[in-house]
Amino acid sequence: MNILLLSMPDSFEHMPPVAIRMPNGALTSLAGNIDPQHKVAVADLILCQSKVRETVTRFIKELDPAVVGLSVMTFQRRTASRIIDLIRRLKPDTKIVVGGYDPSLATQAYESMPLDFIVRGEGELPFRRMLRALESDNNFASIPGLSYRAHDGWVHNAIGPVHRLEDGEIRLPNRDARVLKGYTLLGRQVDVIETSRGCTYDCSFCSIIEMRGRNFHTYSFDRVLDDIRDARDHGARTVFLVDDNIMLNVKRFEALCEAIIAAGLNNIDYFVQAMTSSIANHGETIAPLMQRAGFRYVFLGIENVVESDLVFLKASAKNTAKENGKNIGNATMRAVDILHKHKMLVVGGLIIGNPDDTRETIEINLEFARQYVDWPYIQHPTPYPRTPMTAEFRERGLIANERLEEYDGTTAVVRTEHVSSDDIEYARWKAERWMKTRHLPAVFKHDPWFVATHAREMTAFTFRGSTLKTWLGLEDERKAFERYKEIRQQEREYL
Cα–Cα dist 121/85, whole Å: 24
State CA 460 to chain mean position distance: 24
Q: Is the pLDDT of residue 105 over 70?
A: yes
How high is the pLDDT of residue 399? Answer: 97
List the domain boundaries for the chain: 2-156, 183-463, 466-495
Between 269 and 13, name the one with better pLDDT. Answer: 269
Percentage of residues in the chain having pLDDT higher than 90: 86
Which pLDDT tens digit goes with each residue over 181-217?
Answer: 999 999 999 999 999 999 999 888 888 888 888 999 9
Helix 276-293 with 332-341: angle, nearest 10 deg: 10
Contact 302, 272 (CB under 8 A): no
Between 299 and 211, name the one with better pLDDT. Answer: 299
- Residue 441: CB atoms within 10 Å: 9
Torsion-angle region of 102 (φ positive above 0: left; ψ -120 to 50: alpha; else: beta): alpha
pTM: 0.95
Q: 3-state DSSP call for residue 162?
A: coil
Q: Is the pLDDT of residue 87 over 70?
A: yes
Contact 337, 308 (CB under 8 A): no
Which pLDDT tens digit goes with each residue over 455-484?
Answer: 999 999 999 999 999 999 999 999 999 999
Contact 269, 239 (CB under 8 A): yes
What lies within 8 Å, CB to CB, of 94 at 6+ separation is 60, 65, 66, 67, 68, 87, 88
Contact 368, 341 (CB under 8 A): no
Between 316 and 89, name the one with better pLDDT. Answer: 89
Cβ-count burial 311-333 (b if 16+ within 10 Å, e if not): ebbbbbebbbbeeeeeeeebbbb
Q: Which residues pair with 40 in a beta bridge?
A: 3
Architecture of domain 2-156 in this structure: 3-Layer(aba) Sandwich (3.40)
Q: What is the CATH number of domain 183-463?
A: 3.80.30.20
For residue 322, what pLDDT band results from cuts at 50, 70 and 90? Answer: low
Closest CA to 95 of 141, 137, 135, 46: 135
Which pLDDT tens digit goes with each residue over 422-451?
Answer: 999 999 999 999 999 989 899 999 999 999
Which pLDDT tens digit goes with each residue over 116-162?
Answer: 999 999 999 999 999 999 999 999 999 999 999 998 899 999 998 88
Cα–Cα dist 108/98, whole Å: 12
> What's the chain's average pLDDT?
94
Length of the chain: 495
Cα–Cα dist 156/154, whole Å: 6
Contact 270, 220 (CB under 8 A): no
